Chain A
Amino acid sequence: GAVVSQHPSRVICKSGTSVKIECRSLDFQATTMFWYRQFPKQSLMLMATSNEGSKATYEQGVEKDKFLINHASLTLSTLTVTSAHPEDSSFYICSASLGGGSYEQYFGPGTRLTVT
């Protein structure tokens, strides 16, 4: 149980275009999902907290107009990287928790974004 999927696993796009990444909780409902970014040989950094039915909460330094987050249902959150640039190339990972006092976060497999 507690499986989180992401799609796509890899994407290559041209500079200036937008890319959408999906995060799904397959066997549980997640009122809260989290988006992280990981540059090569670095740690994971929290970008934003995605709340179902409300606006996402962004960490300091993360541009909300560039990284659009939509959490339209209890099993799906999407991250759209708008007007992507080469410096946005990174590994994007989402996670979700069961809630109700459970602290463990279940991570998706990640999406490797390359902007050319």
Chain B
Amino acid sequence: GENVEQHPSTLSVQEGDSAVIKCTYSDSASNYFPWYKQELGKRPQLIIDIRSNVGEKKDQRIAVTLNKTAKHFSLHITETQPEDSAVYFCAARGGADGLTFGKGTHLIIQP
């Protein structure tokens, strides 16, 4: 089955700086890679996703890059704000399967 590794587990950045979270996956058949933000006790919220036929996608301060050859994808958040503090999860999915999640990154934005 799919295995998703996520790094780092904790990331602390100064407000206004950029944050980068990286994930690798094992199954070359995976073709959908979403990123979720989760606040304590709440459901995961999709913040951006990318399909395997695209190398990069951007939505305002958030971008995702995908390297299919190397089987890794990254989340980039620019101009970080205090409200960006949360736990972020990457995930991978192939076809009609359920999602395999990374272990999560606790992002802390220092004022």
- Residue B98, interface by CB 8 Å: yes
A42 at the B interface (CB under 8 A): yes
Q: Which residues does A use to contact B, with CB under 8 Å?
A: 32, 34, 36, 42-46, 49, 59-60, 91, 93, 95, 103-105, 107-110, 112
- Give the interface segment out of B13-21, B74-82, B100-108: B100-108
Indicate whether B70 reaches chain A with its CB closer than 8 angstroms. no
User: Is the Cβ of B93 less than 8 Å from the Cβ of A107?
Assistant: no
List of 3 A-B pairs having minimum Cβ-Cβ separation, nearest first: A46-B98, A103-B32, A34-B98
Q: Chain A contacts of B1 at CB under 8 A?
A: 59-60
Contact check, B49 vs A104: say whether CB atoms are below 8 A apart.
yes
> B93 near A103 (CB under 8 angstroms)?
yes
B89 and A44 form a contact (CB under 8 A): yes
**Known pairs A46-B99, A95-B99. 9 more at Cβ < 8 A?**
A34-B98, A42-B103, A45-B101, A46-B98, A46-B100, A93-B43, A105-B46, A108-B43, A109-B43
